[in-house]
Chain A
Amino acid sequence: MSRAAAEALTLPLAEIGRLLRAGETSPPALAEAALAGLATAGRALNAVAALLPERAAAEAGRAEAELRAGIDRGPLHGIPYGAKDLFAARGAPTTWGAAPFKDRVLDADAAVVEALAAAGAVLVAKLATVELAGGFGYNHPDAAWTGPGRNARDPERWAGGSSSGSGSAVAAGLVPFALGSETWGSITNPACLNGVVGFRPTYGLVSRRGAMALSWTMDKIGPLARTADDCRSVLVAIAGADPEDPTTLLARPIQPDERRSGFRFAVLRGATEGVELEVATNFRASVDLLSAFGDIEEIDLPDLPYDEAAAVVIQAEAAAAFEEFIASGAARRLTAPEDRYGLLDGLTLPAVDYLRALRVRRVAGRALDATLVPFDAVVAPTQPKVAPPLAEQFDSFAEGSETRSLGAAGNLCGLPAATVPNGAGRLGLPTGLELMGRAGSDGTVLAAAAAFERALADRDGAERGGGSSQGGRRHESG
Chain B
Amino acid sequence: MGDGSGERGELEDGAAVEARLTLALECTGLNLEPAEEAAVRRQLAGSRARAAALRRVPLANGDEPEIVFVPFRADGGEEDR
A residues engaging B (CB < 8 A)? 137, 217, 241, 243, 246-247, 249-250, 304-305, 307-309, 311-312, 315, 326-327, 329, 332, 338, 340-341, 344-350, 353, 355-363, 365
Contacts and interface: CB of A to CB of B under 8 A. Distances in A.
Interface of B: 20-21, 23-25, 27-30, 32, 36, 39-40, 43-44, 46-47, 49-51, 53-57, 59, 63-68, 70, 72-76
Contact of A363 (B24, B25, B47, B57): B57
Given A308-B50, A355-B65, A363-B59, A345 B76 contact: no
B13 to A, nearest CB: 13
Contacts of A327: 27-29
Contacts of B39: 338, 341
A345 B66 contact: no
Among the interface residues B20, B24, B46, B67, which one has the most CB atoms of the partner chain A within 10 A? B24
B29 A362 contact: no
A249 B70 CA distance: 8
B20 to A, nearest CB: 4
A147 to B, nearest CB: 23
Contacts of A309: 54
11 contacts: A217-B67, A243-B75, A247-B68, A250-B68, A311-B50, A326-B30, A350-B51, A356-B51, A358-B65, A359-B64, A363-B57
A287 to B, nearest CB: 31
> Which 8 residue pairs spanning A and B have beta carbons closest together?
A358-B65, A246-B70, A308-B50, A348-B20, A362-B66, A344-B24, A345-B43, A308-B53
The A interface is mostly helix, strand or loop, or mixed, namely: helix
Nearest to A315: B47
Given A309-B54, A359-B59, A360-B54, A347 B24 contact: yes
B66 A347 contact: no
B54 to A, nearest CB: 5
A349 B32 contact: no
B10 to A, nearest CB: 18
B69 to A, nearest CB: 8
B44 A358 contact: no
B66 A365 contact: yes
Contacts of B40: 341, 344-345
Contacts of A329: 29-30
B32 A348 contact: no
Contacts of B50: 305, 307-308, 311-312
Contacts of A247: 68, 70
B24 to A, nearest CB: 4
A348 B26 CA distance: 11
A341 B36 contact: yes
Given A312-B54, A347-B27, 15 more contacts: A243-B74, A308-B54, A329-B30, A332-B30, A344-B28, A345-B40, A345-B46, A348-B20, A353-B47, A355-B65, A356-B59, A358-B65, A359-B59, A361-B65, A365-B66
